[in-house]
Structure 1
Amino acid sequence: MVNRWFAYGNRTGWLVLAVLILLILLPLAAVVIQVLLPGVFFGNWQLGDLSLLLDVFRRPLWYTSLKNTIVLGLGTTLLGTLIGAALATVRAQWKFPGARLLDVTVWLLVITPSFILAQGWVMFAAAGGLAKQWFGWDWLHSFIFTPVGLIVVMALSKFPFAYLAVYTALEWKVDRLGEAARMNGGSPWTVWRTVHAPLLLPAYCSGAMLVFMDTVGDFGLPASIAAVFRFPTLPYSIYSALYTSPIRFDMAGVLSFYLVLLIALAMSVQFYVLRRSRFDFLNARATRSEPRPPIRGKWLFAAINVLTMAIAAGIPFGSNLLTSVTRSGSGGGAALTLDNYKQLFETSGLLSEGLVHSLEIAAGAAVIGLIVGFFVSYVLTYSRFALRQAVDVISLISLAVPGVVLGIGYIFIWNQAWLEKIGMLLYGKPGILVLASVAGAIPVITRMLSGAMAKVPERLLAAAQMQGAGFGSRLRTVFVPLLRGALVSAALAAFGASVFDLATTSILFPPNFMTLPVVINQAFEDLKFGYAAAATLTGGGAVIAAIMIIEWLFKPKKARRTEP
């Protein structure tokens, strides 16, 4: 039995499982252990006071943070899912001008860090912001910086998750189901409500769960909003607990526990909904959905689409651009200037230093994450490893767990005195940022490579093995040539996500080791909106240029056809 579990085919599986436990599961478990045994990571084995868990309902800041997180999560989930599902339904069913631009906008919102989007909204709606300077809208400030206004802003940033979930589910359709309902006298609304909506319930639940998890775990928006409006949430209060004197590990542990609990409850609701009914309605008569021109209302759809893109993407991105080249005048107006960009190179190289550090961390995370993600995908696709399901689950956990919680766990794990004796004390060193970025990038890399590996027949590997090729030779001669494009794309996705990771870098960055998102966020907290906007655009432009150069250098080129 033992020999079978540790056979050659399972060695990779055990190695991958051990790495995932070290990078993801152990830090998450440390957060829970800290609540039960508060001093265990610092040499104190005394059992913790579990009544501390109930203090969240007695201490004003803890209770307010929990209440705000729940209100913001539920409100954003409801509004964001409604917006995303409605746009996805219209996009999948009807053809109208500018429809493809909606897809581009959705992906732009998905890949843009939330703190950049939030900063754009703050620049637009602040008391002396662009809305007041350019349009004279005094009322916008009093609306946006309220719980309802924050829900609207968050929903406009998170609806793409619901959009993608529902739009993907609408790729195939079975017309006879709706036709049968119409033949029995059902109106279009009745057909959608009684036939299509119930069948799309898994997609709605998946989209809603993604919106909820990303909202309650979002650190970027509260960090940006805090510059002008106090609205504490669990992620921001966890961050504050680590940067107060004395450090409040008890507060961070308890609030992290409730944050993980909220996400676990959301996932449980989805599993319950999916298991109580069957939704496998596709059959041989299913056809791919093709948008068709509406009989009337084409330009109404186009107008709604343009308005949605202008509000959801135009305001945050346009505000960053305008603020970076705008200076408030004495009379309340605004004048164009490049002073903000000049200041970027007059502050002792703070931006360039942060950018270089972020690029170094992202490069290390991309390389290490690509190696780990490759072997995870290999185990999931080709291995007969007995614990393959556990590998799959653990590889997705960091996608659901907020970065602040993962950062707390990394402090507990890598801040042990005995690690210094073996040279592995990573807390306070740049290496811990690389490991945290790897943990956050693994889900993205794994999903991208697993899809590409599924297209490589196992018989190709078997044929190479029969010719005497070892494992390394098979990787070099079979996988790398066939998966080169996917490998480059996965590495670049991890690279781009790691550069702008504000949550973990804000918690784990060593003293005097600034990173790009920390530089931008600190400038924003100091109310240097123009400087922050210029730093965002300059740093983002440099990152995009680096990604394009790497893609051009390493992605496979199309072979030129030669004439015989």
Structure 2
Amino acid sequence: MHRYLSPNSISGWIVTIVLTILILVPLMAVLMQIFFPGLFFGDNQFAGWEILFQIFERKLWSVSLINSLTLATGTAILGTILGGALAILRSSRSFKTAVALDFAAWALLILPSFILAQGWILFASGKGIANQLFSVTWITDLVFQPFGLIMIMTLCKFSYTYLAVTAALEWNVKRYGEAARLCGASNWTTFWTIHTPLLIPAFLSGAALIFMDTIGDFGLPASLAAVYSFPTLPYSIYTALYTAPIRFDMAGVLSLYLVGIIFIAMLFQMWVLKKGKFDFMNERAERQVAKKSRYSFLYTLVNIGFLLIALGIPIGSNLLVSFMKTIGNGISIGNFTLEHYRILFQLDSTMLEGLSNSLLIAGIAAVIGMIIGFFIGYVLIFTNFRLSPLVDSLSIISLAVPGVVLGIGYIFVWNQPWLEPLGLQLYGTPWILILASVAGAIPIAARLMISSMTKIPQSLLSAAALQGASFKERILTILIPLIRASLLTAGLTAFGTSVFDLAVSTILFPPGFMTLPVAINQAFDDLEYGYATAATIFSGTFVVLVIMGLRWMIEKWFNRKQTSKGEMKEHVITGSEHIEEL
């Protein structure tokens, strides 16, 4: 009985309960619609098992399944290669536009996928910017086909691997490389045979995040569907929920297949991680320092070209349209205006109200999600909690399940009459948006925490415990300082993605409580492209600057604190030596 009362067991049970409430219960509420479509409306009639196999009979369902797997697999492979290569380059080599690469990674991560898709549509469509400005007609055929869609998704999703690998490269253990070079290995051989295999957890975490986010993404495929037919599982689920008659059972079946795909991906990741040993941190670890190279100019040019494609095309298209009176009048001096931005900054602007509300919700969700993600990583890496597989599964399921499905589940769960006397009937209040945002932030934070904690040997915490350090002291003085970069990345990533969560906001936003993604989406639905793109450019730039500013201030505070501790330690040592001399 004593082992269940230990801090490790308590952490495990708390994490399990929180994940069950935030993720498992809402998801089960949706999946129950497969067999009991009227369960939450007073009808308990069993619908049968036949609907489970209709995905292989109905053409739309089967095509959606194949398209989702193709899109997610291709994006995961290319996104992992691209993000990992950029992260290694950024950490090992110094070049002038390195900070711009960081900015682009954050921007592409937090900007809503439907806005990025709109930018590519505005650029590559038959009457788009590429055709009008550059007279490039072949770009339409290149973009609007399956491989083109995979490339667009790769440019949008590579940030997950980039951030995970960058955080993993924060520390450098020279001992292994020095041993390899003493045996005659070149720098290139040392890198590929020693350092790269140690980054497998970070690469796998990034690949898993890209795969899950892509297969559950609704905005980008749905936006491109207006000009190119490429139905996916999330889009078909949306169709089931927003066409008459509403098919909750159909949405439940497709959600079940999404969850099944996620479980297979997670099991593969866990199997690979268990096959090797990746805890390489030791007392000789040093912070990675980017080195100057004679090819720095070339790296700068390559990076500029990449940024122009990945960020310049979608954002540039939105930026250009935000200054245009109407898209149909083409690109001319007489068609440019500042009216959209003037309307945006009016005191009664819906966009400013939505931005304020979204920042508040995202800030709360980021802090809570970061804390939960930290303890998920701790439970999975440093404890033998018996429900660890369940914790790992629940921590990432919400990333795979489309926001529309999770939102429906929250309506079923938190709109029950028996919750009203308890004060827990949260549907119709901002609190349900916070809960849903936390659920969406958990998988990102947890994956980054897991990849960072994997490289820390268990012996560090065990040695501290043997010396009498309490659970709190081990967390605050050993674990958090070693993973501070990943912890900061997890919190800021959760914040950025929560601001622009369209699906959850569309389903759950309370009356009279406007959010930013809903306001932008409504403007697009009303064909106010200039106003919508102006709001997107301003809010996206503002949020990215806030994230970069917070990151700079927190790192500066931490470095100052570390310097102060080092000076105090040196002063104490010097004083002790002086006393000994006396």
Which has the higher mean CA deviation after the structures are superposed, 103-112 or 362-371?
362-371
Whole-Å separation in 1 of the counterparts to 2:328 and 2:37: 54
The 1-side partners of 2:91 and 2:541 are apart by 33
How do 1:341-380 residues align onto structure 2 when only pairs under 5 Å count?
A: 341-344=341-344, 349-362=349-362, 365=365
Structure 2 residue aligned with 1:237: 236
Matching of residue 142 in structure 1 with residue 145 in structure 2:
no
Distance 1:393 1:205, change over 3 A: closer
Equivalent in the alignment of 1:326: 324
Structure-2 separation of matches of 1:63 and 1:389: 30
Distance in 1 separating the partners of 2:519 and 2:247: 24
TM-aligned CA deviation for residue 248 of structure 1: 1.4
Structure 2 equivalent of residue 216 of structure 1? 215
Give the alignment of 1:455-474 within 5 angstroms: none
Amino acid at match of 1:251: M
Return the offset for 1:413.
Answer: 1.9
Q: Deviations over 1:62-113 (max 9, x none)?
A: 2232222112112212322232233344445544443443333323323333
1:263 maps to which residue? 262
Deviation at 1:538, TM superposition (A): 3.4
**Displacement, 1:230?**
3.7
CA 1:363/1:202 → structure 2, altered by over 3 Å: closer, same or farther? closer
Q: Which moved more, 1:259-268 or 1:159-168?
A: 159-168
C-alpha distance in 2 between matches for 1:512 and 1:229:
35
Answer whether contact 2:110 2:500 (CA < 8 A) is retained: no
* 1:174 and 1:282 in contact (8 A); partners too: no
- Structure 1 residues 475-532: Cα deviation after superposition (integer angstroms, max 9, x where no partner): xx99xxx9xx999998766544332111211232345654210221232344432121
CA displacement at 1:201 relative to structure 2: 5.0
- Residue pair 2:258, 2:400 contacting (<8 A) in 1 also: no
Q: Quickly say closer, same or farther: Cα 1:243–1:215, change in 2 above 3 A.
A: same
Contact 2:114 2:223 (C-alpha < 8 Å) held by counterparts: yes
2:81 aligns with 82
Indicate how the Cα distance of structure 1 residues 252 and 346 shifts in structure 2: closer, same or farther if over 3 A, else same.
Answer: farther
Tell me: CA distance 1:407–1:181, structure 2 relative to 1, closer, same or farther (3 Å). farther
Paired residues of 1:365 and 1:498 also in contact (CA < 8 A): yes
1:174 maps onto 2:173 in alignment: no
**Rounded Cα–Cα distance in structure 2 between residues aligned with 1:375 and 1:491:** 13
Is 1:303 matched with 2:301? yes
Q: 1:181 to 1:155 in 2, by over 3 A?
A: farther
**Which whole-Å CA distance do the structure 2 matches of 1:118 and 1:236 have between them?**
14
1:524 aligned partner, one-letter code: F
Deviation at 1:312, TM superposition (A): 0.9
- Which shifted more, 376-385 or 249-258? 376-385
Give the counterpart letter for 1:32 in structure 2.
L
Q: Which runs of 5+ in 1 are unaligned?
A: 466-470
Q: Does 1:59 align with 2:55?
A: no
Letter paired with 2:19: L
Determine whether 1:252 maps to 2:251: yes
1:545, 1:177 → 2: CA distance? 42
Distance in structure 2 (CA, Å) of the matches to 1:445 and 1:199: 21
TM-score, length basis structure 1: 0.77
2:230 counterpart letter in structure 1: F
Consecutive unaligned residues in structure 2, runs of 5 or more:
565-582
Change over 3 Å in CA distance of 1:289–1:245 after alignment to 2? same
- Whether the 8 Å CA contact 2:215–2:400 is kept in 1: the answer is no
Contact 1:239 1:507 in 2 (8 A): no
Residues 194-236 of structure 1: CA deviation (Å, up to 9, x unaligned): 7776665555433322221121111221243244444322122
Q: Is the contact between residue 240 and residue 251 of structure 2 (CA under 8 Å) also seen in structure 1?
A: yes
Structure 1 pair 330/369, CA: closer, same or farther in 2 (3 Å)?
closer
Q: Corresponding residue for 1:120?
A: 119
**Deviations 1:134-183 (CA, angstroms, capped at 9, x unpaired):** 22223223322222221111111112223344455565562544775758
Amino acid at match of 1:416: Q
Question: Which amino acid in the other structure matches residue 125 of structure 1?
Answer: A
| Residue type of the alignment partner of 1:500 | F
- Percent of residue pairs identical: 50
Other-structure match for 1:521: 521
Cα 1:12–1:88 change in 2 (3 A) is closer
Q: Secondary structure at the match of 1:326?
A: coil
User: Which deviates the most, 397-406 or 362-371?
Assistant: 362-371
Q: Work out the CA distance in 1 between the residues paired with 2:390 and 2:384.
A: 13
List per-residue Cα deviations over 1:252-286 (Å, max 9, x = no partner).
111111111222222222233334x4354959898
Going from structure 1 to structure 2, the CA distance change for 1:159 and 1:411 (only over 3 Å counts) comes to same
- Return the alpha-carbon distance in structure 1 between the equivalents of residues 59 and 375 of structure 2: 47
Change over 3 Å in CA distance of 1:282–1:493 after alignment to 2: closer
Output the amino acid matched with 2:221: P
Q: Does structure 2 retain, via aligned residues, the 8 Å contact 1:165–1:207?
A: yes
Change (3 A) 1:293 1:68: same
* Matching of residues 267-282 of structure 1 within 5 Å: 267-275=266-274, 277-280=275-278
**Aligned equivalents of 2:299, 2:229: Cα separation in 1:** 37
Mean CA deviation greater in 399-408 or 113-122:
399-408
Aligned to 1:327, the other structure's residue is in SS state coil
Report the AA paired with residue 33 of structure 1: M
1:468: which partner in 2?
A: none
Report the aligned-residue RMSD.
Answer: 4.9
Contact 1:242–1:507 (CA<8 Å) still a contact in 2? no
What CA distance in whole angstroms lies between the structure 1 residues aligned with 2:232 and 2:497? 23
Aligned to 2:311: 313
8 Å CA contact 1:70–1:216 kept in 2: the answer is yes
Matched position secondary structure for 1:149: helix
Distance in 1 between residues matched to 2:247 and 2:35, nearest whole Å: 15
Question: What are the superposed Cα offsets for residues 388-426 of structure 1, whole Å, 9 maximum, x if unpaired?
Answer: 786566445445544334223223322435445655443
Q: Rate the CA distance shift 1:271–1:515 in 2: closer, same or farther, 3 A.
A: same
Aligned residues: 544
Note if contact 1:175-1:286 (Cα within 8 Å) is conserved in structure 2: no
Once the two structures are superposed, residues 301-354 of structure 1 have per-residue CA deviations (whole angstroms, 9 ceiling, x without a partner) of 332221111111222222222221123587633332112224446897433443
Q: Matched residues in 2 for 1:553 and 1:442: separation?
A: 24
Asked if structure 2 preserves the Cα contact closer than 8 Å seen for 1:320 and 1:537, the reply is: yes
Q: Which amino acid aligns with 1:142?
A: D
Question: Kindly tell me: are residues 509 and 236 of structure 1, through their superposed partners in 2, closer, same or farther at Cα, counting changes over 3 Å?
Answer: farther
Amino acid at match of 1:332: G
Q: Distance in 2 between matches of 1:90 and 1:553?
A: 25
Amino acid aligned to 1:262 = I
Change (3 A) 1:165 1:549: closer
What is the 5 A alignment of 1:29-48? 29-48=28-47
The one-letter code matched in structure 2 to 1:213 is M
Where 2:246 maps in the other structure, the secondary structure is coil
Tell whether the 8 Å contact from 1:124 to 1:319 is kept in structure 2 after alignment: yes
- Give the Cα separation in 2 of the matches to 1:355 and 1:291: 37
Q: 1:264 to 1:446 in 2, by over 3 A?
A: closer
Describe how 1:181-220 pairs up with structure 2 within 5 A. 201-220=200-219
Greater CA drift, 202-211 or 21-30: 202-211
* C-alpha separation in 1, matches of 2:92 and 2:494: 33
Instruction: Work out the CA distance in 2 between the residues paired with 1:271 and 1:250.
Output: 31
Kept in 2: contact 1:357–1:515 (CA 8 A): yes
Does structure 1 residue 339 correspond to structure 2 residue 335?
A: no
Write the mapping of 1:488-527 to structure 2, written as runs, cut at 5 A: 494-510=494-510, 513-527=513-527
Q: Distance in 2 between matches of 1:463 and 1:402?
A: 43
Q: Which residue of 2 aligns with 1:108?
A: 107
